[in-house]
Every structure is written in C-alpha cells, then in structure tokens.
Chain A
Amino acid sequence: MSDSLDAYLVLSGILFAIGSFGFLARRNAISMLMSIELMLNGVNLAIVAFGAFIPELGAQASVIALMVIAVAAAEATVGLAIVIAIYRNKKTPLVDEYDAMRQ
C-alpha cells in the first residue's frame, strides 16, 4: 500500500480510461457492460482513496462507494437482461447492428 494519494488516483484514472476505451471501441454488448463495470470501479477506487487520505470525509466515502457498488449491481442486472432480450431478437451481440432507431 502506497502512501501517496496520487498513485491511487493515477490507477483510478487508468482504470476509467480503459473502461471508456472499451465502451467506445468494443462492438460486443457484453464487453461494453464489462467496460462500464471497469469505469465504475475506477471511480469507486478514487472515492475510497479520497476517504482514506482526507480525514474530514470520515465514513462518508465508504458509504458512497457501497452505494455505487449496489447501483452497479442493479445496472449490470438490468443491462444484461436488455442485452439478452435484444440478442434473442437480433441473434447477434454486436451493437452496431442494433440500428432499428435509424430508420
């Protein structure tokens, strides 16, 4: 465990960047959901790091992190359900073929 807040924030930034890149670049819906989880966890890491290094925040950081984890779980559930529903219709997990809104 490092003593520097910066190290955590850099790691958090790297995780978020990887997540964003995955979300924007991957065509598979499942990979995109995974990228979202990655971004959320990057942010979570930043929050708990702040909580650990700044005493005034106290337990609030941990509560926010727990909240994010709960919401992320719900989001993953709903997202996966949607992806499966679309997959049954379209027979493909690739999002660039989901173009029904375009017409």
Chain B
Amino acid sequence: MSAWASLIPALVGLPLAGCLVTAAIGRRLDKSAHWIPVLAILTVWFIASLLAFDVLTGSAPLLEGAADTHGYAVHLFTWIPADRFVVEVGFVIDPLTACLLIVVTTIGLLVHVYSIGYMSQDPGYWRFFAYLNLFMFSMLLLVLADSWLVVFVAWELVGLSSYLLIGFWYRKRSAALAAKKAFIVNRVGDVGFALGIMAIWLNTGALDGVHTLNIRESIEKLLAQGDANPVPLFVTALLVFAGAMGKSAQFPLHVWLPDAMEGPTPVSALIHAATMVNAGVYLVARANPLFAAAPSSLVIVAGIGIFTAILAASIAMTQTDIKRVLAYSTLSQLGYMFAALGVGAFTAAIFHLMTHGFFKGLLFLGSGSVIHAVHEEQDMRRMGGLADKIPTTYRTMLIGSLAIAGIPPLAGFFSKDEILGESFKNGFIWVWAVGFVVAGMTAFYMFRLMGLTFWGEFRGPRNIWDRIHESPSVMTVPLILLAIPTVLMGMALGLPFGSGPIKSWLEPVFHEAEVTLGHGSEGFQLFGIDGGLILASVAVAAVGVAIGWRLFGAELLGLELPARPERVREISARLSVLYRASLNKWWFDDLYHLLFMVIGGRIAYGLWWFDRNVVDGTVNGVGRATVGAGRGLRRVQTGRVQNYALGIAVGLIVMAGSYLILAGR
C-alpha cells in the first residue's frame, strides 16, 4: 500500500469524526461550531484533490486486475466472515470515483463555508453542521466503497442525512412531511436496489459456489457466466436501476425532490442538486458493463431519463417558487444524465454530472442569497429588479443560468451538447429530439427565473426593498468560486470536441461497455454531423433565451427589454390546459394521493379489518375456546375421592363388559 493510498480512509474518517465531535460538544461551541466540520472538509478536499489528480493524470499505480486503469485501492477489513458469505470492506479510487470526488468535496467544502453565513441566525447551528458532516461521510463512503453491500449502507446513510436535513426545521409541518415523503419514496427504489444486490450475490455463486459482493469482481463474473445466471442480467440491471431511480428522483419516483426544497438552501444545493441525487447516475455508470450486456435495459434507462427530462422541464416553466424551479430543473438535468447513460454515452453522463454539480450548486446557493436578501421570500412574483441591489449574486447566477441554458462556451454547453450529439449518433433519434426540445425549454425557464427575480420592477413590499442588501462575503465568495468552474470547466475538460481530457480520463472505465454496445467508434467531425448538431442545440438554446427575454424582460449589455406580463397571461390563457397541467405538476401529487392515500388507505383499512377480525379472531378464538373448554371440564375434577373411585369402577365395568361381549362373539 503506497503512502497515498493510506490517506484514503481519512476521506471518510474525518467527516465522521467531525460529525461525532460536533454532535457531542457542538451545543457548547455555539457560534463557533462550524470550525471542526469546515476544517475536516477542507482537509478532505485537499486529500481528495491530490488523490484525484494522481489518478486522473495516470501517475497512480495500475489497479489490480485492470489493464489500463490507474487508481488506488485499499483493503480495510473483513466485515462479515461467515463461511461462503464473505463481505470485504475496501476503498477504490478509479477515474470515475476521482471525478465524483472532485465534485463532492469541492461543492461540499463551498457549501460548508456558505452555510456559516446562511445559517448564522439559526438556533440549530451546530446540529446543521453535524448533519452536513454526516452527509459528507456517507457520500464519500458511497463513491469510495468497492463492495455492493457497503454501497448499500452508504446509500441508506445518504438517505438518512437527506431526511435529517430536509426536516431540519422539523417544527414546520411541511418540512417534516417533506422529509418523510423523501424517505418513503426513496425506500421504494431501495427495495429494488436491495433485490438487485441479492440477485448479484445469487448469480455470482451460481456455478462455482463462490459468492462475492465486490463490485468489479461480481460484474466480471456475471458477464462471464452470461446465460448461466439464475437471475437474467436484464432483470438484475433493472433492479439496480430501480435504486438509482429512487435516489436520483426519476419518473415515477420523482415526486420527493421538489418537496425536499423545504430544507435549508445549502442543503438543496449540496444534497438535492450537486451530489446525492447524482448517486443514481454514479451507480449506473459504475455498473456500466452490466447494463451494456443487457442493452434493452439501457433503452428503458434512456426512456425514463428523457421522459423525466421533458416532464420536469415542462413543470419548471410555470412554477413561481424560485427553489422549486431549480428543483424541477435538477430533475430535468438528471433525466439528461440518465438519457446519456441509456444511449451508451457514459462519459457524457459523468461530464454532465460534474458540470451540472457546479452550476446547479451555484444556482441554488445564489437562490439562497436572493431568498436571504428579500427576507426569506421564495415567491418570484414578489421579487424583481434585484440586479443592482445584490450585484455579486446577480452576476454569478447569470453565469449559472447561461451555463445551464447551454450557451457556449460555458460548461453546460459542452456536456449537454455531448449528450445530444452522442444520442443522435448512437441511433437514438427520439432521445435526441426530446432532448433538443428540453434544451430550449431549459433556456426559457432559466431566463424566466432571471427576469422575474433580477430584472424589471420590484413587486414585493416597499419596506423590504429598502432593506435589501448583498449577502456577507462568506456567502458570496463560494458563489464566485463556483462560477469559475461553471465558466471554465467545459472548455478545460471538453475541448477538443470528442477527445477532451474527460474522455481520456474515463476511457478505461467505460471502454469495455462502449465496445460491447458498438458505439463511439467514429471520430468527431466538426464540419460534419457534429458541427450541425452543435449549431442546432445552440440555436434552440438561443431561441429559448430570446423567448424568455421577450416575455419576462431583460436588462443586459445595454439591452433593455420590458417584461410583458399581459402577453404571458394571454399565452397561458390560450394554452390553458397545458398551463394548468404544468402549474399543477401534471397532477402527479394528486394522482399519488389518490392511489396511495385514498385507495391505498382503503385497502390498508380493509386489510386491517381482516387482520383484526380474521387473523386475530382465529388466534383469540382458539384461546377463548381453550379457556372455555377448561372451565367446563374443571367440573369433572371435584376433588372428592369417591367420585374418582366411581369413575374407576364404571371404567372397569365398561372394559370388562366390552371384553366379555367381544370375547363372546
């Protein structure tokens, strides 16, 4: 084990220690409770950056059993040594994990710093930081673990920290309900994931009786066995994907993510935009050979992903809560990532995961700054004209909006374009077509958000207007720091087109799957099909932005367009069915309420009745019958010797009599 690899356990150890220490003594530290967690994450960030740099530049040693994958592996201990059920715990940093490490630790660090300012007035200050460190521990465990079972444990741990942080203001009923909703909806997916892990375990030992839960070994074994697997690869892959759907909030399990916005905004940025919701994408990417071996499962992944993308984008277009717009936008972008995975563009998915992590983290932290400035108002109808009052927030959010809209040369353009291009070239024209429309919708709703929030006239109460001020630098500096990768990351990783650093980094991880699928062989043609696709997606983004400007105004680069609310009303009246569908989130919450609360409630009530009357009735009936029979039979035991003697005499006479009768025959 090299010196570097021995630092890997510290990546999870430090946040865990930070969480425990803060939980133990945080109350006494009061307003300085942030020091231990922030320093822990700073150290983690430093170590993670060094390790990721080593792994991605190829100066790390080759991983055992891999021909061209550089990375670090460390075996910690044998968790469960039970005969043939052996679970080893170890950490692996391969290029995929390294990419995730960069996103998780960088955004984690910046969100920790931002929270110092954002949560400064909160009575639960220390509790917040303890939870944040718990989340960092869980998330790092999730990306580092090399065993399915450890991944599952981390999977549940991030779910727990998400639950705790959504319900951070647990006195607020809506927050408590949202936390519960997130937990329960996630559980649905987790059942699938757990079944998937069981299927993998079963499959690995099917032929030689040697089971393994190591991720790489188990997948290799499953592929080698092919049709000999007791559980078909297609089913296994879909079960694993079910877990990913829950955690990454894909249709039909998407309903928890928008409600999760009840949590504090830094949480929305860190967990519900940049890191935890990416766990599903990571999981599918991690298991990519498995999915590639069952291509029909990838078609389902692509279908669900792109459907979620357009569904969420259509909802985001009419929401008025600034955080909800961003939440639906997150859903939509996650849908893009799954679509990318589905069409076999694994690298593009991870690329988009990274860029999206940064610009969506930026947008959420920016929205937190806006909410702070207008005194905890989240409704965009009572905002407007904030650009001059909070210039740093405005500028950084503008960068983020341009990035997510896909305007070159910002980060979102490169990653999104790669997804669209790959889906077109890999023959998934329908994915490309829907994704193309979603790109336009994304640009539109982001500039609707910008127009309503930052441009035009302030529509809130006058007394608040006078007191609006920019957030403290502990909040704006993270915004600026996030804006830098938002601008540069796409160019740094995506250029030259089709063979940028991200491609060469992740090539070893995804190469095998890409060969299996037979994609990604042809080169990039800037003046051929790829150039045309790029032009098309830039054009649709520009159209989206332009429509946003026309309807909701713009004050940019000397350009001054007034907002036209009367035109908005006119359009929404003309498309009233679509408008209402979008505003009511396509009635999914109502549908689920009907299905699971009303109908499900009735079924549950019926089952309860059955349980009480039939199941319990049987058990209690047996008991009651026994007691009654005992009470009746007790009369036989009179305690009088003569009664017993009479019994003996009668018995004897009966026996002797029957003997005589029978013998006499």
Q: Which of A20, A24, A99 contacts B639 (CB 8 A)?
A: A99
- A95 to chain B: closest residue by CB: B641
Query: Smallest CB–CB gap between B95 and chain A, Å?
Result: 83
- B637→A102 contact, CB < 8 A: yes
What is the distance, in angstroms, from A22's C-beta to the closest C-beta of chain B?
11
- Chain B 290-304 interface mask (CB, 8 Å, partner A; 1/0): 000000000000000
Establish whether residues B640 and A20, one from each chain, have CB atoms under 8 Å apart when the complex forms. Answer: no
Q: How far does the Cβ of B611 sit from chain A's closest Cβ, in whole Å?
A: 39
Which residues in window 57-103 of A have CB below 8 A to B?
Answer: 95-96, 98-102
B645 A24 Cβ-Cβ under 8 A: yes
Interface centre among B637, B641, B646, by most A CB within 10 Å?
A: B641
A20-77 residues with Cβ-Cβ distance < 8 A to B are 20, 23-24, 27, 32
Q: Say yes or no: A24 contacts B642, CB within 8 Å.
A: yes
Contact assessment for B639 and A23 in the assembled complex, using a CB-CB cutoff below 8 Å: no
Partner pick for B642 among A95, A101, A102, CB 8 A cutoff: A95
A95 to B649, CA, bound (A): 18
A20 contact set on B, CB distance < 8 A: 649
Give the chain B neighbours of A32 by CB distance below 8 A.
Answer: 641-642
- Interfacial chain A residues near B645, Cβ < 8 Å: 23-24
Q: Which residue of A lies closest to B640 (CB)?
A: A96
How far apart sit A32 and B642, CA to CA, in the bound complex (Å)?
9
Q: Kindly provide the distance from the CB of B291 to the nearest chain A CB, expressed in whole angstroms.
A: 76
- For A99, the closest partner residue in chain B by CB is B639
Q: Which residues of chain B (615-660) have a CB below 8 Å from chain A?
A: 637-642, 645-646, 649
CA distance A96 to B638 in the complex (A): 10
Indicate if the CB atoms of A102 and B639 lie closer than 8 Å: yes
**Residues on the A chain within 8 Å of B642, using CB:** 23-24, 27, 32, 95-96
Shortest CB-to-CB span from A89 to chain B, Å, is 15
B641 near A98 with CB under 8 A, answer yes
Q: What's the minimum C-beta distance from A86 to chain B, rounded to whole angstroms?
A: 11
- Nearest opposing residue in chain A for B646, CB measure: A24
A6 to B149, CA, bound (A): 92
Distance from A92 Cβ to chain B, minimum over Cβ atoms (Å)? 14
Shortest beta-carbon distance from A83 to chain B in Å: 11
Q: What A residues does B639 contact at CB under 8 A? A: 98-102
Q: Within the assembled complex, what's the spacing in Å between the Cα atoms of A20 and B649?
A: 8
Cα–Cα, bound, A23→B640 (Å): 12
In the complex, chain A residues whose CB is within 8 Å of the CB of B640:
95-96, 98-99, 102
Within the complex, the shortest CB–CB distance from A93 to chain B, in Å, comes to 13
Residues of B within 8 A of A23 (CB): 642, 645
Residue of B nearest to A103 (CB): B639
Which residues in B have their C-beta under 8 angstroms from that of A98? 639-641
User: B597 to nearest A CB, angstroms?
Assistant: 57
The CA of A101 and the CA of B637, in the complex, are separated in Å by 9
| Nearest CB in chain B: distance from A37 CB, A | 15
Residues of A within 8 A of B637 (CB): 101-102
Given contacts A24-B646, A24-B649, contact A102 B641 (CB under 8 A): no
A-B contacts, 12 listed (Cβ < 8 Å): A23-B642, A24-B645, A24-B646, A24-B649, A32-B641, A32-B642, A95-B640, A95-B641, A96-B640, A98-B640, A99-B640, A102-B638
Closest 3 CB pairs of A and B: A102-B639, A101-B639, A99-B639
- Name A residues whose Cβ lies closer than 8 Å to a Cβ of B: 20, 23-24, 27, 32, 95-96, 98-102
With A99-B638, A101-B637, A102-B640 known, 8 other A-B pairs at CB within 8 A are A20-B649, A24-B645, A24-B649, A32-B642, A95-B641, A98-B641, A102-B637, A102-B638
